Structure 1
């Protein structure tokens, strides 16, 4: 059974989080603002904005980014409140989740 993680987007800040506890210090990810790896699995990713270069770097890195998971995304309204009825589930690996975030950030930029 695939792990379930949450995606949260606040303006141009974004997060992917799980409930795994702990920290593996030996991981050196492609340039990523903040990350936490537990037992070789991604527990937390966070950054500001997202570029095609960063997506490419994560795809080339492979490893933990290739784990298949379910990612739950509940968008926020203009006041920052969660809009449950518009929630989505993305089944795929972390690259799929990052591409989803990238597209959501593009929409946000266009809609201002």
Structure 2
């Protein structure tokens, strides 16, 4: 699996769609994925993520788009600090019909 570089985008305008985010960032490199969360931050701001193929493209996007104003909102662009998400899964114990829960870390 190829390691992609993910950027965190904060303070996205309410009217922006993920396709708009994709379009804005693709001018700075090869965008693999763009996502805007349906949830808001604790300070009620929209946020999202953009994934790049190369670290050089991600750095270029940070340099060009951090504090960029789009639709009246000044966006902030950072390298994302992703922790792997934890997933609970039932695991069978051999020779016994009992099941136990196991936490599995999924890295992204």
Please give the range of the TM-score, normalised by the shorter of the 2 chains. 0.3 to 0.5
* The structure with more helix, counted as a fraction of residues: 1
Question: Normalising by the residue count of structure 1, what TM-score does the alignment of the two structures yield?
Answer: 0.33
* The structure with more strand, counted as a fraction of residues: 2
